[in-house]
Amino acid sequence: MELAARANYVSSSITLAISAKAKEMKAQGIDVCSFSAGEPDFPTPKHICEAAKTAIDEGKTRYGAAAGELKLREAIAKKLRQDNHLPYEPENIIVTNGGKFSLYNLMQVLIDHGDEVIIPAPYWLSYPEMVKLADGIPVIVDTLAENNYKITVEELERAITPKTKLFVLNSPSNPTGMVYTPEEIRALAQVIVERDILVVSDEIYEKILYDDVEHLSIGSIDESIFARTIVSSGFAKSHSMTGWRVGYAAAPLEIVKAMTKIQSHSTSNVCTFAQYGAIAALEASQECVQEMLTAFAQRRSYMYQAINDIPQLSCPKPDGAFYLFVDISKTGKQSLAFCQELLETKQVAAIPGLAFGTDNCIRFSYATDLTTIKEGVRRLAEFVDQ
Ligand code: GLU
């Protein structure tokens, strides 16, 4: 059968594939230590589940507005104003099927044939594919380990051409865990405004920050950058709601209206009662977020130290998210082979850096329990040593 060209040039998501494989091995009774998908291991907090159950009982089981329930869009706008100093109204919000669909939909709305989208590498693996699916050109800018894998102002400036439409900023970053400082964000914003391009700021990990690191939403700097910013976020990582598929974008009205049109012909509204869970997530106390953060912080300290104690491996200390991006150059292996052999011989699942555009590294998600982390690192040390 002849498939459309896009079905052939798009790759499948390696994060989802490897985590599915690890789950399948576990189901077969194999003792797998999985550090694959970035998926918090905590159950969704009870009050969020209860709110969704009540919504079902109240009959909130029908079609809703394509852009999302007004009550949720109001709660998101309030959160963005209070936490991020972003002056959005509910009309500027679209609730999407996970943060992922907000980004996919955005590319459909903004990108025409040949438009360029600047993506710093290492990047979350779906960004370039989404650009390609919109018939655009992902312009990958390799960042340096010595710059903590952050794009510099000079690198961004060099990558901009008359065809550049959009810059993808992800801080805290998946897969590196790096967080841009407020000064770095301000400097990038200046270039974006001067060169008159747009920025999508993927802030899905904004609540997962360690020590006294600060997250600055790029759109909050001033009116000119605000007008060029689209925020993408969701509830999966902060409130352990990965399977709920509730994310959102916040953007200038024209963009949200266009995204809503596309959504009305693709996914329609996000599951109605799931949106009521998200409302509870925003309106109730954020203590659950803090509790999970405390656990992530403990796991980060342990795993960061344990991995850097293995002579052939090294990684920078992450300031946010729940990933370690580990340099494997000294092992002489490439990332795909490394991960494949690690899974087959030691039953440890990690994601090859190749998927994120950086083949000399692999990614470990430490959104898993400390016992698994200790055993996984023990096996990893054995694997590297053999
Ligand atoms: N974003 C998470 C990750 O990078 C979940 C899987 C995915 O959607 O890629 O592991």
Within a domain: 51: no
Asked if residue 166 and residue 251 are part of one domain, the reply reads yes
Minimal-distance CA residue to ligand 1 atom 4: 38
Q: Distance between CA 72 and CA 68 in Å, rounded?
A: 7
Regions in the chain scoring below 50 on pLDDT: none
Within a domain: 321: yes
- How many C-alpha atoms does 353 have within 13 Å on its Cβ side? 22
Asked if residue 356 and residue 299 are part of one domain, the reply reads yes
Q: Is 34 in the pocket of ligand 1 (CB under 6 A)?
A: no
> Range of 224's domain?
61-283
Helix, strand, coil proportions of the chain in percent (round to 5)? 50, 15, 35
pLDDT tens string 117-156: 999 999 999 999 999 999 999 999 999 999 999 999 999 9
| Closest alpha carbon to 123 in 65, 75, 175 | 175
Q: Distance between CA 124 and CA 198 in Å, rounded?
A: 19
Provide the 8-state DSSP code for 320.
B
Domain boundary among 283, 300, 318: 283
Distance 177 CA to ligand 1 centre (A): 13
Domain boundary among 223, 258, 283: 283
Q: Is 38 in the pocket of ligand 1 (CB under 6 A)?
A: yes
Q: Is 97 in the pocket of ligand 1 (CB under 6 A)?
A: no
Distance 11 CA to ligand 1 centre (A): 14
Q: Distance between CA 360 and CA 331 in Å, rounded?
A: 10
Which of ligand 1's atoms lies nearest the C-alpha of 98? Answer: 8
Distance 247 CA to ligand 1 centre (A): 13
Question: If you compute the radius of gyration of the chain from its CA atoms, what whole number of angstroms results?
Answer: 20
Q: What pLDDT is attached to residue 12?
A: 87
295 Cβ partners below 8 Å, 6+ apart? 42
Q: What pLDDT is attached to residue 11?
A: 87
pLDDT tens string 299-315: 999 999 999 999 999 99
Minimal-distance CA residue to ligand 1 atom 2: 38
Within a domain: 211: yes
Within a domain: 55: no
Q: Distance between CA 351 and CA 349 in Å, rounded?
A: 7
Q: Distance between CA 362 and CA 241 in Å, rounded?
A: 25
Which of ligand 1's atoms lies nearest the C-alpha of 174? Answer: 4
